[in-house]
Chains A and B, each alone.
Chain A
Amino acid sequence: MVSPYFLLGIGLGLAFLLGLLGQKARKSSSILILVALFSFVGISFSWLWQFLQENASVTQFFSAGFKPPFSIALQVGLHEAVLTSMINVMGLFSFVSLWRNMKDGNEKLGPILLILFMGLNMLVLTRDIFNVFVFLEITAIALGGLILFDEKKHARSAGFKYLIASALISTIYLLGAVLIYFSNGSLYLDDVMALNNMSPMAIVAVFLLILSLVLELKPFPANGWALDVYQGANPAIGAIVSAAIGSTMLFLLYKLMGMAAFMQEFLIAVGLISFIASNLLALVQKNANRLLGYSSIGQIGLIISIIGLKDILGDQFLFVAFMILITHFLAKAGLFWLSAMLKSDELKAWSVFRKKSVLLVLFGIFIFALIGFPPFPSFYGKWTLIINLAETHNYYLIAAILIGSFLEAIYLFRWLGYAIKVDFTEYDEVKINWEKLIPVLTFGALLLASGLYMAHLMPGIEDITLWPLLFILAIYLLDFLPAYIKNTISIAALAYFSFIILPPYYEKDLLRFIFLGIFAIGGILTLIAGYAYKGKRRGFYPVALLMYAGLIVLIQAETTLSFFFGWEIMTAGSYFLIIRGKRSMEHGLSYMLFSIGGAYAILAGLGLTFAQTHNIDILSLASVTVHAKLIFLLLAVGFLTKTAALGLHIWLPGAHAEAESDVSPMVSAILLKAGVFGLFILMIAMGKNPEVASIAYILGWVGALTALVGNLAAAFQEDAKRLLAYSSIAQLGYILFALAMMSHLGWMTAMVYSLNHFMYKAILFLTIGAVVLRVGTHSMYKMGGLIQRMPLAFIAVLVGIIALSGVPPLSGFAGKWFFYNAVLEKGWYFQGAIVFFSGIVAFLYLFKLIYSVFLGQLKDNLRQVKDISIWFAIPIYVLILGIMFFSAKPEWVLQPLSDMLTQWYPNTSLSFDGLYINSNFGYWSGTGVMITIMIMFIVLLLWLWILSRKVVKVKQFNIVYSAEAPQRPETTHVSYNIFAGYYKALGWIVAPKISELWNKISDFVVSVAHFGRMIYTGNGQTYLVHILAFIVVTFLWFLN
């Protein structure tokens, strides 16, 4: 094993040598330092190799051959090997990223950097308490130098504040080290840890040591100096502070905690407070580097608390800590390096990365990794953390961690939204130098690779989930191809994938077969519409496939882990799909925040489930006994954010309405079914637990009110897509209500609605989307009379609205019929009546939709408009065929559904008798009604035709109009606010109270953040007071 003293030798030796050689060697110094840093990497990797491949044992190296306490011991174990590898890789890439800064007379920075990283290595390796102090001082001075030498505007004051603060902190450390030596005669860590009974003085000493390390890790509120450093220093140095120094100090803390078990609770508290507080304060931050600083402090706070949780997490501790640390390390360094490429500190300036899409993708990867999305390591870390905390009944900690993570998600996704959407023309263009690009690219790739590797290792994640992700990566690399090629590849991939996985489910599990069918067929059909788009459509296909991959994983999941994995992948994909819309920035954010909130509720629910079942099998949900209500409520809330139940719905209208024309049907007709599937899984589990009937009852009411409010709100929209979006909310309300009935008929209703909603909402969204592409507006009152120009679209919308409204003979009626029977059987009369009433309200918006767009007066500017694109018409008419089939032969679909549902509800009054469907209450023959109505319609049509053969088609405006001659279509087309009277009577129901409530909540949080931020005055003396106050308060706390 290579001796660690080589690190010391190389570092110090080269630094002194360069100093001695003077001016002449300056030119070549960079190369020498690069070689030195490479050798650091080599040494630490050789250790890593030995530990991982050759099972080497932990080795201690002693200086000058003496034993402690007369020598300094350096220990090399697996942990040290990993940490030094991370640090040295960081050192190497930091040097690369600062390459240009070290030219032109600034060559002196190189040796300082080398010394800094040597110091960090030693901090990791050393086992001597005083030695730690020495290297703390060395790194502090080196870092101070790095900051001060930079030419950035606030670098000087930041460096000064840093030196003052670190001097104070080192003093405290030194005091602790002195006391330790005084009380116990040795500074060798292993000696101190071996002590069984610590004297009061030793306890105080250890307290001071740990406290100073915690202060090094910038706990809230004693971290004003650190924020100024992040803001003032060159971002590349910020990367070192956050990733390298942060990781080192965390490891040091972990190492020294071996003697301070009594401080675990302190670490948990301090860590979580920092995590939540800094993420909260970051909400109002507009400076990118300072924001990253807040985020770093938050993440490090989380890891501090994980170190405190060591005993609670037991075997899983190292896994959790490492997963979160490595994510923080790679992502935060990457983000700082990205920041280094920009001239401006503004968050919105990051929008210039749109011009270099690879940087935008990296930005996205780092953000998603930080929040803990799969497949990144932090996903597994957070999952394991939450599950273990639940198992040990630390519910408050779960809540705190999830709240902190949620706050972090708010500002990070808002930022990502800026990058994707804000107009970038006012910001300086980003100039990419190879030395800036290489580190970011490497770390991004490492992050992805580590995530995929973890997914492979993790029990409970099926290997099959990885292939789609790799395929998506491949599609991203093909992004330079024209859209139609990528479209074909995507369709082929989806078709192939569904061809492989779909058929076996028909026998095995019909429920999953149906949902998978909706996702696969819906996916293919909506992708076909993509041929209508010209150009390259950059970035569309990877994210669309990401969503479909997530959906497929979700359905296939056999464990709660892979269910959650799929759920998060789907959320990520759909977020990018939604935010692609022109005005979708805020809608994308609100979608993401509701989704993350929901996902955390699901995570908490699954964690609590695991705590009692000790099983990640998805069927284990059914066997929960303790806290069943809480668990099911959490899961329900999670799924309801996706189905946009009343109260959690405010993200949907904007997100669906502003999305691109072929994206709206994806996120409405298809994606919403993921929530429905989740609800199915939940309800299947709930069905086995009689205790939770009250939750089903509540969900029933929520569903009914969602249906009412959704439909009423839809009736008052002027934007066609918003109208359809509100309609989706209501339809999902029906489905929720039907599922909550927890009966055979109820679930039949839910299944019929799910199938129907998939078909007609896809038809309507595709058609309206295609119309919008032609006419260039969403506002219905700006359209009118388009039936003459777009007969194909008109027929599609006609079929869609008839099916949606539930008018016989189309399939929508099946849903209504089952609904009546289910409600009567269940006895939920009032909720049922609300749902029926809202079903009738649907006529208002359906009429408005088809009338305002296709009937009435054709506008002058639309006289030449063409019919919808054939690429939209194909999927639309395939779906129409589907509806027609379902309408003509409903029993062919309904009977297998009914049989399937008997596995959960064996007692059903439903019976199939040839063409007739009978229940306890009524009967209905879909085919018979269809035939009767068709014959009657044709006969009556002939009757009219015979009597009116001389009919003449007249031109526009040829109407009976009180002796006036209308000429302007705008004044003759009655459309805007057409239901004004209705609004006067019932508009109060849809007053935006819920949006107001959410706005008030968010205003409150923001104002708290503003208030909290005022403690950071920017004055170094105040910051010192903070540190001292922190010490005093913690000391007083410990005295108690």
Chain B
Amino acid sequence: MEFDFKHLGFTLLGLLIVLNWGLLMSALMQKIGARVARRIGIRLYQPWIDLIKNYAIRSQISHGIMFYLGPVFRFSGGVGIFLFMPLIVGSVMWSNYSFQGDLVLIMYFQFFGMLGMALGAGESGHPNSAIGISRGLAQFTAIEAPLTLAIISLAIQYNTLSIVDIVEAQQGGIQNWSAWTNPFATIAGMLAALGSMGHSPFNLVKAPNEIPIGPPTEYHGTFLGVLRTNAAILHVMEAALFMNLFFGGANNWFEFILKTFLIYFWSVFVGVVFPRFRIEQSVAWFFKIPLIAGVVAIILFM
């Protein structure tokens, strides 16, 4: 496809929408969590204030070049996934740059940010960062096992690895969603989603009261601002991935917002109920029911 300013403009606009929706959503989720715990919770505009404050802090320290680049990698990871993800069904403009690669690209591009962040945090030399990263990576491999099976199952079902095609195949009503036509893949995928969203019981990567916030321990000010910006985008995009894969995608921005909210809410909902796993527990957990569901999903479509 030729370079097209209009397309770029739509993409940037989409990014802006996603960013703000991500910030709002995180505030909403925190609010919900607080209410469950009988607290009042934060103000809904708190994330924007935090962001501005972080970007505005004047004292900034760096531990080295990789430390400096870590947030850039992380941010690129989030934005990259956004770029390669189609947002709205049937819309060329809202498909971003998804024509450059398929589901495999998204699967592997997730690691771009993760790896860069791991290295940046690693250079900080803080033991908590290293511990957080080692846990995060360990847990992530386990998450990927059922998720991979779910994706293979979908690819067999729809005979494609293109997200655009997978979404299009689900159009025409709820009965065509993968959640309905391929329930086991959806179970495997949504259980894996719990892990990738990083809420309790799978929040030992940042484990607030044990290794205070894990990998980003040393990041502050602008660096933290960049990371928070990315987190807002990434949360929405992760939800959007599952929306596209299992819940028929979105035909318009309203549907997009509703579905990503519900998908994200699923992890918060579980999170407020269950306490945190240790790393070996969480790794082992993904190799039980989620993995079995993934295997069944493949067997059904073989």
B295 in the interface (beta carbon within 8 A): yes
CB pair A924 B60 closer than 8 Å = no
Q: Which of A3-11, A227-235, A863-871, A926-934 contacts B (4 or more CB under 8 A)?
A: A926-934
A404 in the interface (beta carbon within 8 A): no
Residues of B within 8 A of A32 (CB): none
Contacts A833-B148, A947-B225; A844 near B141 (Cβ below 8 A): yes
Could you tell me the distance between the alpha carbons of A952 and B73 in the complex, rounded to whole angstroms? 20
Among A791, A922, A943, A982, contact of B162 (Cβ-Cβ < 8 Å): A922
Listed from nearest, the 8 A-B pairs whose CB atoms lie closest are A981-B279, A922-B161, A922-B102, A855-B122, A985-B283, A984-B280, A974-B130, A982-B138
When each residue 932-969 of chain A gets 1 if its CB lies under 8 Å from chain B and 0 otherwise, what string results? 11001100110110011011111011111100000000
**In A897-939, which residues have CB < 8 Å from any B CB?**
920-925, 928-929, 932-933, 936-937
B48 in the interface (beta carbon within 8 A): no
Residues of B within 8 A of A846 (CB): 115
* 16 pairs, A vs B, C-beta closer than 8 Å: A807-B112, A808-B109, A816-B108, A817-B101, A829-B298, A841-B141, A843-B115, A844-B134, A922-B162, A936-B83, A944-B222, A957-B125, A978-B134, A982-B138, A982-B283, A985-B283
Could you tell me the distance between the alpha carbons of A817 and B142 in the complex, rounded to whole angstroms? 21
CB pair B119 A850 closer than 8 Å = yes
Q: How far does the Cβ of A999 sit from chain B's closest Cβ, in whole Å? A: 29
Among A840, A941, A944, A950, contact of B58 (Cβ-Cβ < 8 Å): A950
Contacts A817-B104, A936-B80, A975-B130; A952 near B62 (Cβ below 8 A): yes
When each residue 256-294 of chain B gets 1 if its CB lies under 8 Å from chain A and 0 otherwise, what string results? 000000000000000000000011110110010000001
When each residue 99-138 of chain B gets 1 if its CB lies under 8 Å from chain A and 0 otherwise, what string results? 1111111001101101100110011111100110111011
CB pair B115 A937 closer than 8 Å = no
Q: How far does the Cβ of B224 sit from chain A's closest Cβ, in whole Å? A: 11
A344 in the interface (beta carbon within 8 A): no
CB pair A922 B103 closer than 8 Å = yes
Q: Which of A332-340, A449-457, A484-492, A820-828 contacts B (4 or more CB under 8 A)?
A: A820-828
CB pair B123 A959 closer than 8 Å = no
Among B59, B115, B138, B294, contact of A802 (Cβ-Cβ < 8 Å): B115
Does more than half of chain A's interface fall in helix, strand or loop, or is it mixed? Answer: helix
Among A794, A856, A944, A985, contact of B72 (Cβ-Cβ < 8 Å): A944
- Closest Cβ neighbor of A805 among chain B residues: B111
Residues of B within 8 A of A801 (CB): 115
Q: How far does the Cβ of B187 sit from chain A's closest Cβ, in whole Å? A: 16
CB pair B280 A985 closer than 8 Å = yes
Q: How far does the Cβ of A742 sit from chain B's closest Cβ, in whole Å? A: 19
Residues on B close to A: CB < 8 A?
55, 58-66, 68-69, 71-73, 75-76, 79-80, 83-84, 97, 99-105, 108-109, 111-112, 114-115, 118-119, 122-127, 130-131, 133-135, 137-138, 140-142, 144-145, 148-149, 152, 155-156, 159-162, 217-218, 221-223, 225-226, 278-281, 283-284, 287, 294-295, 298, 302
A886 in the interface (beta carbon within 8 A): no
CB pair B148 A947 closer than 8 Å = no
CB pair B148 A954 closer than 8 Å = no
Residues of A within 8 A of B221 (CB): 948
CB pair A940 B62 closer than 8 Å = no
Could you tell me the distance between the alpha carbons of A947 and B226 in the complex, rounded to whole angstroms? 10
CB pair A837 B145 closer than 8 Å = yes
CB pair A805 B115 closer than 8 Å = yes
Q: How far does the Cβ of A938 sit from chain B's closest Cβ, in whole Å? A: 9
Residues of B within 8 A of A958 (CB): 61, 63
Could you tell me the distance between the alpha carbons of A928 and B2 in the complex, rounded to whole angstroms? 11
The number of residues on chain A lying at the interface, defined by a beta carbon within 8 Å of a beta carbon of chain B, is 78
Could you tell me the distance between the alpha carbons of A978 and B128 in the complex, rounded to whole angstroms? 12
Could you tell me the distance between the alpha carbons of A103 and B46 in the complex, rounded to whole angstroms? 105
Q: Which among A801, A848, A960, A982 has the greatest number of chain B C-beta atoms within 10 A?
A: A982
A872 in the interface (beta carbon within 8 A): no
CB pair A950 B72 closer than 8 Å = no
Q: How far does the Cβ of B217 sit from chain A's closest Cβ, in whole Å? A: 6
Residues of A within 8 A of B59 (CB): 950, 952
CB pair A855 B123 closer than 8 Å = yes
CB pair B152 A823 closer than 8 Å = yes
Contacts A836-B144, A940-B79; A978 near B130 (Cβ below 8 A): yes
Residues on A close to B: CB < 8 A?
785, 787-788, 791, 794, 798, 801-802, 805-808, 813, 816-817, 820-821, 823-824, 827, 829-830, 832-833, 836-837, 840-841, 843-844, 846-848, 850-851, 855-857, 920-925, 928-929, 932-933, 936-937, 940-941, 943-944, 947-948, 950-954, 956-961, 972-975, 978-979, 981-982, 984-986
CB pair A820 B62 closer than 8 Å = no
Contacts A787-B66, A802-B115, A829-B302; A837 near B125 (Cβ below 8 A): no
- Closest Cβ neighbor of A953 among chain B residues: B62
Residues of B within 8 A of A951 (CB): 60-62, 68, 222
CB pair B138 A979 closer than 8 Å = yes
Among B73, B105, B114, contact of A808 (Cβ-Cβ < 8 Å): B105
CB pair B111 A843 closer than 8 Å = yes
Additional 18 contacts, C-beta under 8 A, given A805-B111, A829-B149, A981-B280: A785-B125, A807-B108, A807-B109, A829-B156, A832-B152, A856-B130, A857-B125, A924-B100, A929-B105, A933-B80, A936-B79, A941-B69, A943-B75, A958-B63, A959-B126, A975-B130, A984-B280, A985-B283
Residues of B within 8 A of A957 (CB): 125
Residues of A within 8 A of B72 (CB): 937, 940-941, 944
Residues of B within 8 A of A933 (CB): 76, 80, 112
Residues of A within 8 A of B160 (CB): 920-922
Among B137, B162, B217, contact of A844 (Cβ-Cβ < 8 Å): B137
CB pair B101 A808 closer than 8 Å = yes
- Closest Cβ neighbor of A711 among chain B residues: B141
Residues of A within 8 A of B138 (CB): 844, 979, 981-982, 985
Q: Which among A956, A957, A979 has the greatest number of chain B C-beta atoms within 10 A?
A: A979
Could you tell me the distance between the alpha carbons of A922 and B60 in the complex, rounded to whole angstroms? 44
